[in-house]
Structure 1
């Protein structure tokens, strides 16, 4: 399914009082306002794409705070009479831009019925200010040591703070308030939220803080607010790899063609750690192989080929791993990522459990799927969020939860977890899919149908017809 985003504009600098920061004597408080402005990214000139800037307080919890500016993009519907409730897309991360690369609305199925709105998150690439940490990003891409990454985080923090940035203002709670401020200044009574990965956590925070403005929510690849991600990151990858191995063993064609794949995978990881596997002028260790398979598991079209790739690598022909190792690293905004994570996740996590996620006992060669470490967060040094940032959301807002069976990042059980506290939520498991269960024909159909009537029964016929795991032909 294509990418998503869109709705209405209002005139210049419309102030709203509910989110105003308390005034100090002799000072004027920063209030949220909106103005039309040129698009922050290049867009197709012939399309109905309207842009602006939302100005908000940097830290609503402080009386003395400065204003920050967040770009807005509104993709207008092609319908003659668009639905009054637009769609707002919340990307993953944290630290992925909402608007980068969003140059056109062509192929966006939401525009057939309603507008699509994008708000660049505070601190992100096109926001003013941005919390970008280019050195840390480069070190992550180079798989540098955690010691080096931690030192880079400390240096980036020093630069940002010296420029006047209040890092305590960059949280999911503040971002949720930004979204609700935007809804109000645009004159929208209610809208629909679509969150992907970290965006599901932000969507839950909006529902927690501003339920009156939310008509419905679609959560794809759920990160529950009350799940301690770093305590389970390695185990989540292990679950997905085990499902792949079990799926091959249970399908006759795969089991005959690639016998004993579980034992061969374990032996491959062990051999890589013991003596290394040379490939394209580099020496692979167990963590590299596990990381390559993790990358493959995030691409549903590649999942059927993974048994062959593992089998060939175990036979001494590892070239199939090369495309998985050469994928472009995700361009996270690491300053924003750390501000959110070190405030809302790390204070509630157990350091011993975090460390256990890279132990050899998981059989992944120490592959590190954690977002951050206690040391990195100590270097970043932001204030801990209150307990509400780690409590499940109680809500009767209609919710559609989508999960991919092979998701190595946010297991399907995390989506099911929300059913305990969201009585109007429905969970759909999509066979053969991974992280990003919405981005296929069936996921798109379910999402569009849900948006038309969030309380109507879902037609699961397309789910029943999905093939699930089928080994790829040689």
Structure 2
């Protein structure tokens, strides 16, 4: 039966009482570590039928507290096309506060794309896709209303920190019945181990993208004996929740190299190229904020938006094909598009905040040494501290306890790890992978020139020989057949929205 929507948790529990299901909990309330599953089918974009199990794992909300209430964590499993003898692949989503279960519950283009990123790996073994506690429709989604931000003053670090403290207070007020201290990367790692045990696997292979890679590092640190191998991309080590500004700035420089040579951008380029335009805009905004009048798309009324240097710094990290045009537009004093985007962001109320991210990030934080390096990094002159200052400053306002310093710091590991990382990744710079490689003597890195944060699909599209090698690695852990680097083509860069010279 095709499952078209995820059932609410209470309906699932009722189903358990009347219908036999695989690995079902006994009648009545579930116990910690138990699962329930339902069978379903879907089709790939090519029309191939995929059979799967959609399930819920029940875990303590906070294992540090006796008699903690149970919460649900969703998962799905596709059995291997044929037995391979290899461990199952546990796919851990990024975020935090992301889910891949839409691949099984929805039928739109996004779901088919998500399924295409999962299904091929059944050639290597069973595939298990896991949700995150606190962001799972099979359990609970921790959300809080998004506060509006003022339009009459520019963004500042102090205002960001105060807003983050207010968000923490709002989150606790909105969820008085929940133990928010239980939403940490450590608890997420224990959820993986509980699901492994409930499904009857001795060892697993981890597949993690972005926060999924950080989650994977936590599993490898806390339960190395259960991890046969790992495939990580958009790599985020446990001590790298906040990016080093100079590493991100180097990514912008690499993008600018190709942008300066793109014929479509040539009419707008100043002497010195995109980076010279960036420096000029930075200096202009450092001298004082701008007041820009634009029409509010929601009301049709004229509004004034005050834009400052921190607004500019926070806006820089956009897709590579769009970033140069954004900077060139501001260089030529065309601010309207930027002002409209900031107005929409500051006044947005429709999308609530997924508080799992600050709960996990405030608990994990960074080591004292990395905090010092972040604040004294020369890249802060260009990019500032917007990536990390507010969360570090507000960490005590969040209820999640800080992790032990020893968890954050890497240690040598014999686990075979295959790293994918793009050198155009502004979300998790490639330096993250380069810094972790020495700790994994059985590891291998595929460095992707012009690869962005989500680089797996583009690599498989441009280099179809890589996918069979990944499947072979997932089966055996052997990385010897991998190249060191591959390249992706230069993307077509977006043009500024106004004619040259105007």
Give the TM interval when normalised to the shorter protein: 0.7 to 0.9
Q: Does the 8 A contact of 1:234 with 1:368 survive in 2?
A: no
Task: Tell me what 2:498 maps to.
Answer: none
Find the partner of 1:133 among 133, 138, 144.
Answer: 144
Change (3 A) 1:371 1:167: farther
CA drift at 1:181: 1.5
Distance, in Å, in 2 between the alignment partners of 1:224 and 1:360 is 20
Q: Secondary structure at the match of 1:295?
A: coil
Change (3 A) 1:134 1:355: farther
Find the partner of 2:96 among 94, 97, 109.
Answer: 94
Q: Does the 8 A contact of 2:93 with 2:131 survive in 1?
A: no
Change (3 A) 1:43 1:339: farther
CA drift at 1:186: 1.0
Task: Tell me what 2:250 maps to.
Answer: 239
CA drift at 1:426: 0.8
CA drift at 1:416: 1.3
5+ long unaligned stretches in structure 1? 1-8, 15-27
Q: Counterparts in 2 of 1:140-289, with a 5 A limit?
A: 145-146=159-160, 147-160=162-175, 162-163=176-177, 165-227=178-240, 229-230=241-242, 232-248=243-259, 251=261, 258=269, 259-261=271-273, 262-273=275-286, 274=288, 276=290, 278=292, 280-281=294-295, 282=305, 284-289=307-312
Task: Tell me what 1:120 maps to.
Answer: 131
**TM-score for both structures, normalised by structure 2:** 0.73
Task: Tell me what 1:11 maps to.
Answer: 23
1:48 is aligned to 2:71: no
Task: Tell me what 1:72 maps to.
Answer: 75
Q: Secondary structure at the match of 2:421?
A: strand
Task: Tell me what 1:336 maps to.
Answer: 356
5+ long unaligned stretches in structure 2? 1-20, 296-304, 496-502
Q: Does the 8 A contact of 2:86 with 2:476 survive in 1?
A: no
Find the partner of 1:315 among 332, 338, 348.
Answer: 332
Find the partner of 1:362 among 381, 394, 409.
Answer: 381
Change (3 A) 1:133 1:355: farther
Q: Does the 8 A contact of 1:125 with 1:333 survive in 2?
A: no
Deviations 1:370-412 (A, max 9, x none): 3852343222133222233222143211101111101112111
Task: Tell me what 1:413 maps to.
Answer: 431
CA drift at 1:134: 3.0
Q: Secondary structure at the match of 2:143?
A: coil
Distance, in Å, in 1 between the alignment partners of 2:123 and 2:349 is 33
Distance, in Å, in 2 between the alignment partners of 1:117 and 1:191 is 10
**TM-score for both structures, normalised by structure 1:** 0.77
CA drift at 1:293: 3.4
Q: Secondary structure at the match of 1:423?
A: coil
CA drift at 1:285: 3.6
Q: Does the 8 A contact of 1:58 with 1:166 survive in 2?
A: yes
1:428 is aligned to 2:431: no
Distance, in Å, in 1 between the alignment partners of 2:355 and 2:365 is 15
Q: Does the 8 A contact of 2:235 with 2:432 survive in 1?
A: yes
Distance, in Å, in 2 between the alignment partners of 1:13 and 1:277 is 60
Distance, in Å, in 2 between the alignment partners of 1:97 and 1:252 is 37
Change (3 A) 1:245 1:324: farther
Q: Secondary structure at the match of 2:481?
A: coil
Find the partner of 2:65 among 58, 62, 65.
Answer: 62
Q: Does the 8 A contact of 1:173 with 1:205 survive in 2?
A: yes
Change (3 A) 1:290 1:471: farther
